[in-house]
Amino acid sequence: MNDNSTETYVDRTYGGAGIGYGDRPGIIVVDFQTAFTEAQYALGGAPLIERAVGNTARLLEVARRANVPVASCYTAYSATGRDRPYWKVQAVIEDLVHGHPATQLDSRIHDPDYDVAFCKSGASIFFQTPLVSFFAKERVDTVIVTGCVTSGCVRASAVDSFQWGFRTVVPEDCVGDHHEGPHRDNLRDIGRRYCDITDADAVIDRLEEWRGRNRQ
Amino acid sequence: MNDNSTETYVDRTYGGAGIGYGDRPGIIVVDFQTAFTEAQYALGGAPLIERAVGNTARLLEVARRANVPVASCYTAYSATGRDRPYWKVQAVIEDLVHGHPATQLDSRIHDPDYDVAFCKSGASIFFQTPLVSFFAKERVDTVIVTGCVTSGCVRASAVDSFQWGFRTVVPEDCVGDHHEGPHRDNLRDIGRRYCDITDADAVIDRLEEWRGRNRQ
Amino acid sequence: MNDNSTETYVDRTYGGAGIGYGDRPGIIVVDFQTAFTEAQYALGGAPLIERAVGNTARLLEVARRANVPVASCYTAYSATGRDRPYWKVQAVIEDLVHGHPATQLDSRIHDPDYDVAFCKSGASIFFQTPLVSFFAKERVDTVIVTGCVTSGCVRASAVDSFQWGFRTVVPEDCVGDHHEGPHRDNLRDIGRRYCDITDADAVIDRLEEWRGRNRQ
Amino acid sequence: MNDNSTETYVDRTYGGAGIGYGDRPGIIVVDFQTAFTEAQYALGGAPLIERAVGNTARLLEVARRANVPVASCYTAYSATGRDRPYWKVQAVIEDLVHGHPATQLDSRIHDPDYDVAFCKSGASIFFQTPLVSFFAKERVDTVIVTGCVTSGCVRASAVDSFQWGFRTVVPEDCVGDHHEGPHRDNLRDIGRRYCDITDADAVIDRLEEWRGRNRQ
């Protein structure tokens, strides 16, 4: 992308053949809580995140109709902060507290009657949450990554999805960041190593295909 | 660093006050196996990695004299590859196999009589290894991150160190990459959120100080 | 205890010297939710559990005055049950659902302004919860185990405390079960291998001692 | 089994309907290293363990022909012991050291060309090992538990298998202990809550059935 490093990594055998889809998808939705999706908050309202919310909402509608498991998370800590790791982001410290409105999942992407929602304490949606147990029980083999922010919790979640043995797919217009530079840099890094980068429309087509297949 | 994103993130409260050191350091040494440290291998011999090996060797000598716990890891899989996650790096698939010489820890950084060494299967040295148990038993509260590569396993390890509740310090000349662009991009991302970025000399000074204090 | 196996295990070197206390205790309180502490529920109101609630309440009062970290948990799942592992206990399936009154922590043991409380999905309070991160940040090296039930979630939590590298202490009158047989069998098994078995009064004395020491 | 607690637990809704098999089995083989399987060692050579080795060998032969994933583990620590949790079993401390012959997997149950083998540091084969990633990649949904000892590492492994969302099956003659009392007590506890208890012949029949089905 925006640097001249691609050739170096290709020479060193990075960025090989795509991973592809397996038989059972699961969707993760990282931190689409109002802290990031509403402009009134210090971390909220970036255009790339707004775009990601819209595309993820479309994708999730199809996923739920196809009975694909959906796991959402938000980040929150105790008021005392004793359980909060050493964040260097002041708004995380101030706003991500149990009971604060900034910890509510955005209603455009969350269906409380369908999705499984977790509170997480780390960067990754997989970190010390019941997510892997949920996906193992559902026999998920392919994880679709959505949410924010690309250069933080999305990156951490995509790496974990890979580490846990799943095929990992990141539709780039379903993940967002505060700035396009780090957004692209992180897609570049993970797309070389751990996952396939695609877009919302391609994933939606695939979900429709699965839905059709399972219906027969 | 090399983009114009800093202002955006500062405006959004990223990159706050440094985390600082606690009372008990522990060192992690990520993937300084010959696959990355010897030029004969596809992934081996990048100048930034060579520099990191030299600085880490100096740092570890001081750490061992101070009785600071040191955890090293290498990555390797079964010959069948059934336990290997979906890597997109061909040299990982071909060379990181149990028994292959590319899985040997570099003798410049590894002391088998002192260090605790783990085989890991993911990107992070923390991922499904006994590291946290070892550090909890040793009462470590501050993790010094060394190894390679910055835009891959080092990034994943620094994020995990943060997630597990440790104060995290990355001496930038003790971590290396194939190319300076992604090296810097990743230090930028993690230094804004999860850890303090410093250099080998500063950490060595600090280790000497701890050593002096514990001797009294 | 109530079988003739002790000699066999002693011959095989089980049950060696006690582990002892370290410098920083942390308390875990496993599943003292009303499902287990109120007689109206299928799992609730066993005498050994009632006894454990009373002793744990006394112990926690001292712990909080000594500023010792306290982590409580309850077990609950989504209404759809998709995230619930394969339990063979019907009351778990029926009552441990988000929003059900049986998931409320018992007010005798829970102080929402002090304790850190987690929802857990497995048997162990450590399983995929932020507990280890919290205790690592607090530099805990000794875990005091309380809660219910001894032959289920307490056993699993004590094993995990050991596995994570902590010195583990189980005051036997702070853990309870539906029946004395399995209660004793499990204390026997874990006391041979993983932890020290003691009682509430001994732990309270120790907490007072720590409190005195830290005050100076 | 050998106490009068069954009625109490049945009244409280424990021990409900069996869990049953899913579509993809995986086998775990816990600690069949010579420390436990050879009489020369303090922990070695108990009749129930000898019986379990024989039955597990039969079961694994069928599993490998059916291409079912097999994960074996052994327990070992560094010579310094800094990475060893607080065991109260003297023979664990003395014999389970990297390079010691007591850490070798028993050749009757281990096929190095087929099985994936891990070193573990805790009680459970799942604890901080790559097992879940391996099984997620293989799409395992049903875990068959074999190994030793029932009242220690087998119990911990069966609980973890349950927690990770797998259907869990324990053939009681494929797991062994030093004494029949704790062997039975632990099968009783876990069979009420987390898994189905069966025997080697029943699992073998099932594996043959899967093999036949996949062949067509």
pLDDT level of residue A1 (50, 70, 90 thresholds): very low
Report the distance separating Cα C178 and Cα D5, nearest Å: 9
Q: How far is CA B32 from CA B41, B73, B204, D82, in A?
A: 13, 8, 19, 21
A-to-C residue pairs, Cβ atoms closer than 8 angstroms: 58
Residue B71 has pLDDT above 80, yes or no: yes
Segment A85-110 mean pLDDT: 98
Q: Distance between CA atoms of A129 and C128, rounded to whole angstroms?
A: 5
DSSP alpha helix (H) spans, D66-199: 90-95, 131-137, 155-163, 180-193
The four Cα atoms D188, D194, D198, D202 give a dihedral, to 10 degrees, of 180
Q: Which of B14, B128, B163 sits opposite A88 (nearest CB)?
A: B14
Mean pLDDT of chain A: 96
Mutate to test the interface with B, among D24, D73, D116 (most CBs of B within 10 A): D116
Residue D178: how many CB atoms within 10 A of its CB?
A: 26
Contact C136 B141 (CB under 8 A): yes
Q: Tell whether A19 lies on the interface with B, counting CB pairs under 8 A.
A: yes
Alpha-carbon distance B95 to B35, whole Å? Answer: 7
Residue type, B21: Y
- What is the DSSP secondary structure assignment for residue B108, as one 8-state letter? T
Average pLDDT in the A174-183 region? 98
**Angle of helix B155-163 versus helix B180-193 axis, rounded to 10:** 10
* CA dist., res. D62 & res. D214, Å (int): 14
Taking an 8 Å cut-off on Cβ atoms, the answer to whether C89 and D193 are in contact is yes
Angle at B161 between CA B135 and CA B175, to 5 degrees: 105
Residue B17: the pLDDT is 87
Residue B3: is its pLDDT beyond 80? no
Contact check, Cβ <8 Å, D165/A132: yes
Give the three-state DSSP class for C178. coil
Q: Which domains does chain A have, with CATH numbers?
A: 23-215 (3.40.50.850)
Q: Measured between CB atoms, does B189 come within 8 Å of chain A?
A: yes
Pair of tokens at residue C133: 């991160």
Mean of the pLDDT values across residues B14-34?
96
Q: Does ipTM come in above 0.90?
A: yes
Give the pLDDT score at B214: 74
pLDDT at D103: 98
Q: What is the pLDDT of residues C147-205, one digit of tens each?
A: 999 999 999 999 999 999 999 999 999 999 999 999 999 999 999 999 999 999 999 99
Given a cut of 80, whether residue D177 has pLDDT beyond it is yes
Contact partners, residue A99, CB within 8 Å, separation at least 6: A79
Residue C212: predicted pLDDT? 85
Helix (H) or strand (E) holding C105: none
- List the one residue out of A8, A82, A89, A171 whose CA is nearest residue B190: A89
How far, rounded to the nearest angstrom, does the alpha carbon of residue A51 sit from its chain's CA centroid?
14
In this structure, how many other beta carbons lie within 10 angstroms of the beta carbon of residue C180? Answer: 18
pLDDT of amino acid C16: 85
pLDDT at position B1: 44
Please say if the pLDDT value at position B213 is more than 90: no
Residues 65-94 of B with CB under 8 A from C: none
**What's the whole-number average pLDDT of chain C?**
96
Chain-chain contact of C141 with B136 (C-beta, under 8 angstroms): yes
User: Do C142 and C24 touch, CB atoms closer than 8 A?
Assistant: yes
What are the distances in angstroms from CA A95 to CA A33, A76, A81, A167, D44?
Answer: 11, 8, 11, 34, 56
Measure CB to CB from residue C139 to each of B134, B139, B164 and give the nearest one: B139
Are B10 and B195 a contacting pair, CB within 8 Å?
no
**Residue A78: closest CA among C111, B58, B157, B55:** C111
Is D61 in the A-facing interface, judged by CB distances under 8 Å? no
D137 contacts in A (CB within 8 Å)? 141, 165-166
Judged by CB atoms closer than 8 Å, whether chains meet at A42 and B13 is answered as yes
A164–chain D Cβ distance below 8 A for any pair: yes
Buried b (16+ CB within 10 A) or exposed e, D183-198: bbbbbbbbbbbbbbbb
Q: What is the pLDDT of residue C3?
A: 62
Q: Would the CB atoms of A5 and B181 count as touching at under 8 Å? A: yes
Active site residue B195: no
**Is the pLDDT reported for residue B19 higher than 60?**
yes
Selecting from A69, A82, A137 the residue whose C-beta is nearest the C-beta of C69 gives: A82
In this complex, the chains that touch D, judged by 3 or more CB pairs closer than 8 A, are A, B, C
Task: Using a pLDDT cut of 70, give the percent of chain D over it.
Answer: 98
State pLDDT tens for residues D72-88: 999 999 999 999 999 99
- Cβ pair C135:B166 closer than 8 A: no
D99-141 pLDDT tens trace: 999 999 999 999 999 999 999 999 999 999 999 999 999 999 9
pLDDT of residue B16: 85
Banded pLDDT at A2 (limits 50, 70, 90): very low
> What subunits make at least 3 CB pairs under 8 angstroms with C?
A, B, D
Q: Chain D closest CA to A128's CA: distance in Å? A: 12
Q: Is the pLDDT of residue B106 over 50?
A: yes
What is the spatial distance between Cα D93 and Cα B65, in angstroms, rounded to a whole number?
Answer: 26
CA distance C28 to C148: 11
Tell me if B178 sits within 8 A of B149, measured CB to CB. yes
Tell me the pLDDT band of D213, cut-offs 50, 70 and 90: confident
User: For C7-59, what is the HEC assignment?
Assistant: HHHHHCCCCCCCCCCCCCEEEEEECCEHHHHCCCCCCCCCHHHHHHHHHHHHH
Length of chain A: 216
Q: C176 pairs with which residues across the strands? A: C148
With an 8 Å Cβ cutoff, are B123 and A162 in contact? yes
The string of pLDDT tens digits covering residues C38-61 is 999 999 999 999 999 999 999 999
Read off the pTM.
Answer: 0.97
Give chain B's mean pLDDT: 96
CA end-to-end distance (rounded Å), chain A:
42
Q: Which residues of D90-115 are buried (b: 16+ CB within 10 A; e: fewer)?
A: bbbbebbbeebebbebbeebbeeebb
Residue D2 has pLDDT above 60, yes or no: no
pLDDT tens for B138-147 read 999 999 999 9
Say if CB A74 and CB A97 are below 8 A apart.
no
Is the predicted pLDDT of residue C1 greater than 50, yes or no?
Answer: no
Asked if C128 has any chain A CB less than 8 Å from its own CB, the reply is yes
pLDDT greater than 50 at residue A27: yes
* Residue-level pLDDT at D211: 86
Q: Which of A133, A135, A138, A166 to mutate to test the interface with D (most CBs of D within 10 A)?
A: A133
CA B110 to each of CA B55, B66, B118, B211, D174: distance values in angstroms, whole numbers, following the listed order: 13, 16, 12, 21, 40
| D interface test, pick of C11, C89, C126, C190 with most D CB neighbours within 10 Å | C89
Residue of A nearest to B44 (CA): A12
Under DSSP, is residue D109 helix (H, G, I), strand (E, B) or coil? coil
Tell whether A182 lies on the interface with B, counting CB pairs under 8 A: yes
Q: What angle do CA C95, C97, C99 make, to 5 degrees?
A: 110
